[in-house]
Structure 1
Amino acid sequence: MKDPHEMPGHLARRFQQIAVAVFLAEMEAAGYDLTPVQYAALATVRTNPGIDQITLAGLIAYDRTTITGVVDRLVQKGLLLRRASSRDRRARELQLTESGRKTLRAIAPAVEAAQRTLVRGLTGKEAAELMRLLRKAIAAGNELSRAPLRDAAGERG
């Protein structure tokens, strides 16, 4: 049997732990209280204004039942607005507030710094190869996830 520390699942879990820790440290240093999922939600609403929570969950590959809590926290922080949809009374449309837009602009350097930190032990070519291989492995396993990535039309990515 292989050493558990050499298994892809263990390495992926460790990289995720490091990625979250680095992101949170950069946010704290910048004076913000945002998690990686909250950032992904804000950035996705910025590029898809008016989307509903279920679409948001698919676009960031997040569990549909848990996305409500993420959105609730962003609304409480004054970064998102949630309104009843004019097309479907059961759906909630999401919009960035001005504070949400300002926050995304203000944290951009910290987000970029976190990404650089994650690949700091790699050359540029190695970092590009890591990204290519991660995208390939994720695409191959997307359907195995409890929260598969979807595009804006609801198609699985």
Structure 2
Amino acid sequence: MAKTAPLPQLDQLPGFSIRRLQQIAVALFLQETQAHGITPVQYAALQAVCVSPGVDQRTLAAAIGLDTSTTGGVIDRLEAKGALRRSPSEHDRRVRLLTATDEGQALARQVTPAMLRAQERILAPLPAKERKEFLRMLRVLVEANNELSRAPSSGI
């Protein structure tokens, strides 16, 4: 009987650790922002629309690295909260342009300090001098592998 290689330890696999860190990041975000009732993906969409008013849904999806159907649901929920408004494009009635309402802009401003606290908590276990290097290396991995994603990000 042929001897097989031992199975790797999960905690030694980058994919496993990245998935776990993403779970932790979401948990920290939700803890810090619970008073606002917004998810990390909703925050990303709202923030992107605040920065680029009049963006269409397809461009928004590409900017934040989501598939278009997921983005549609996110926009539905933000619209139901009164944070975003969809309006038809003057040039193509099939295209919906997104604008943050006054309430949506206020929500983004209110949530931002809590979101930043969550980011600080994610990095807190690292010594301060290593945080920038960790983020640099993380960006290298994300950018180098972006096209392999089911929803590559184009940035806004």
Aligned to 1:81, the other structure's residue is in SS state strand
% of aligned pairs identical? 46
In terms of Rg, which structure is larger? Answer: 2
Aligned match of 2:36: 32
User: Paired residue for 1:5?
Assistant: 11
Provide the aligned C-alpha RMSD in A: 0.9
Match of 1:155 in 2: none
Asked which structure has the greater RCO (Cα within 8 Å, sep 6+), the reply is 2
Measured after TM superposition, the shift of residue 151 of structure 1 is 3.6
Q: CA deviation at 1:25?
A: 0.7
> Helix, strand or coil for the counterpart of 2:98?
strand
Classify the secondary structure of the residue corresponding to 1:24. Answer: helix
Give the match for residue 152 of structure 2.
148
Q: Paired residue for 2:4?
A: none
Matched residue, 1:60: 64
Please name the residue that 2:79 is paired with.
Answer: 75
CA distance in 2, matches of 1:2, 1:129: 27
After superposition, the C-alpha distances for 1:26-51 in whole angstroms (9 at most, x for unaligned) are 111xx110000000000000111000
> SS at the partner of 1:68?
helix
Counterpart pick for 1:117 among 118, 121, 129: 121
> Structure 2 counterpart of 1:57, which letter?
A
Alignment: residue pair count: 150
Structure 1 unmatched ranges of 5 or more = 153-157
Task: Return the offset for 1:2.
Answer: 2.4
Whether contact under 8 Å (2:64, 2:153) holds in the other structure is yes
Out of 39, 46, 53, the position equivalent to 1:49 is 53
4+ residue runs of structure 1 moved beyond 2 angstroms? none
List per-residue Cα deviations over 1:84-124 (Å, max 9, x = no partner).
11121111000000000111111121011001000011122
Taking the aligned partners of 1:104 and 1:66, their CA distance within structure 2 comes to: 20
2:82–2:103: 8 Å Cα contact kept in structure 1?
yes
> Offset of 1:9 from its aligned partner?
0.3
Q: Which residue does 1:137 correspond to in 2?
A: 141
Mapped partners of 2:102, 2:88: distance in 1:
19
Counterparts of 1:84 and 1:124, CA distance in 2:
47
Q: Which runs of 5+ in 2 are unaligned?
A: 1-6
Q: So what's the TM-score if we normalise by structure 2?
A: 0.93
